[in-house]
Chain A
Amino acid sequence: MGEHTVASFDEELGSIDQLIRDMGALSATMVADATRALLSSDNPLAQRVISDDAIMDAKQRELDEQAITLIARRQPMAQDLRAVVSAIRMASDLERIGDLAKNIAKRVGAVGQSATPKPLAHSIDSMASLVHDQVKNVVAFYAERRSEELPALRADDEKIDIKYTAIFRELLTYMMEDPRNITACTHLLFCAKNLERIGDHVTNIAENAYYVMTGRQLPMSRPRVDETAVSDAAG
């Protein structure tokens, strides 16, 4: 895309784009660190995730401010308008990813007391690495403007949902086996739920990134698998 007649307009758009990339990179780090801290009971690392979240919040406020100023000053049109509006939305999803990662980090202490059973740790680890890849990829596809990759990435969220369902069942089994597991397992269940929610935010980001690049919306429906819903949980 060519440059604007008014060069400072390009600078302002570039600055907003850079903030999205920064927030994206930070969110990927936070997700990776939070799960690593959880699985290795690494309290200092968990603390870092918690303090990173403050940086994430500050960046989002910065982006909001820049985006609103740009709209007021430039009245952007077409792809510029899409870029600014979607940046606001993507920033809010990235900020939520930060919150969820922080929430996982906060549980590290509570889970740490009791050792996580090996097979379960493995399940959570593999779910977390799926989620981490999704976060990393969506940010990379946005940064490299690879819109053609986004529909598949969004569809891949289903794999996370399937993992989540499996972990949910596994955790139930441990809790039934020994009630002393309940505290730790409940915390782990929240962690798994947080990871699943992060996956959902990634799909939102993918949809917004696709819209920025193409001007078209991805189809509304996406296959959903959540077998933990009412009937199963009750059964």
Chain B
Amino acid sequence: MNMLTEASIEQKLSPMKNEPRIKMRGDKVTVHYGEKQALFGVDLQIPEHQVTALIGPSGCGKSTFLRCLNRMNDTIDGCRVGGKVTLDQEDVYDPKIDVVELRARVGMVFQKPNPFPKSIYENIAYGPRIHGLTKSKAEMDEVVEKSLRKAAIWDEVKDRLSESGTGLSGGQQQRLCIARAIAVSPEVILMDEPCSALDPIATAKVEELIDELRQNYTIVIVTHSMQQAARVSQRTAMFHIGYLVEEGPTDKMFTNPDDKRTQDYITGRFG
């Protein structure tokens, strides 16, 4: 008789999973805004080709942490970052790092779509041009088309590339901004509540896009929508008043989180 032990059944149900490579890593990251400390020693690994969602109530430090990953905090007066942030084991706060190049490798999409007040074409072409990524008009055309295609907006704008980007709908503008981030061939894309200004249909399109982009990019997303975090991410990190409370596979975080604060937050029991 063929006896199936519990272990062998488990094995059949979950085939060996390859441990993903760690793309970015935060090591005891602290952030001060002037006197006020906003992050307290956050250790977090961002696995490659996965979507990592950062959740937590307002003021918990999730956006602050996100902005440490491509040094967006440098632009804020009185902001000091401690600890270590690495991209492929390279310290991104090393003085030798070219911040402009870093931000090309670690792109960002913001809460409110912010297309340049230029043509759709120019919105995409701007980045590759200043980074000198293309040599000819034909090559630029190709980058523009490819980026718009990857952001799932090509079919909607291909006939009006010379029209202004600000004339698009909110959802289209956000996908245009994602296309703009993709155009400089980033490795990591940071998204700070990318859907909070979008309607449900546009949100669904962006979520579908996030899932596709994961094949080629590593994505970190800050979101206030628990359902969105559950839908789009593979890993979830929960922040609370400047601390990383809990981090783990999204499936587990939303069905059986370990920490009481995570439970309270995701079930709607926070004051």
Contact = CB atoms under 8 A, between A and B. Distances in A.
B9 A220 contact: yes
B263 A79 contact: yes
Contact of A9 (B230, B268, B271): B268
B268 A4 contact: yes
Contacts of B264: 2
Interface stretch (A21-29, A39-47, A70-78, A97-105): A70-78
B241 interface: no
Contacts of B262: 78
Contacts of A234: none
Contacts of A221: 6
A109 interface: no
Interface string A185-223: 000000000000000000000000000000110011100
A221 B263 CA distance: 30
B41 interface: no
Contacts of B267: 4, 76-80
Interface residues of A, number: 21
B256 interface: yes
Contacts of B270: 5
Interface residues of B, number: 18
A219 B269 contact: no
Given A78-B254, A78-B256, A5 B268 contact: yes
Interface in B198-246: 226-227, 230
B266 interface: yes
A6 interface: yes
A7 to B, nearest CB: 11
A76 B263 CA distance: 11
Interface in A6-60: 6, 9
A224 to B, nearest CB: 13
Contacts of B254: 77-78, 81
Contacts of B256: 78-79, 82, 215-216
A220 B269 contact: no
B136 interface: no
Nearest to A80: B267
Contacts of B9: 220
B227 A75 contact: yes
A78 B227 contact: no
A233 interface: no
Contacts of B2: none
A28 to B, nearest CB: 30
A219 B7 CA distance: 10
A2 B269 contact: yes
A77 B250 CA distance: 12
Given A4-B267, A9-B268, A77-B226, A219 B257 contact: no
B269 A77 contact: no
Given A78-B256, A82-B256, A215-B256, A4 B269 contact: yes
A2 B271 CA distance: 10
A3 interface: yes
Contact of B266 (A2, A77, A220): A77
A215 B6 contact: no
Nearest to B257: A78
B18 interface: no
A3 B226 CA distance: 18
A157 B54 CA distance: 45
A152 interface: no
Nearest to A220: B6
18 contacts: A2-B264, A4-B267, A4-B269, A5-B268, A5-B269, A6-B268, A9-B268, A75-B226, A77-B226, A77-B230, A77-B266, A78-B255, A78-B257, A78-B263, A79-B263, A82-B255, A216-B256, A220-B6
Interface of B: 6, 9, 226-227, 230, 254-257, 262-264, 266-271
Given A78-B256, A82-B256, A220-B6, 12 more contacts: A2-B269, A5-B269, A5-B270, A5-B271, A75-B227, A77-B226, A77-B254, A77-B255, A78-B255, A78-B263, A81-B255, A219-B6
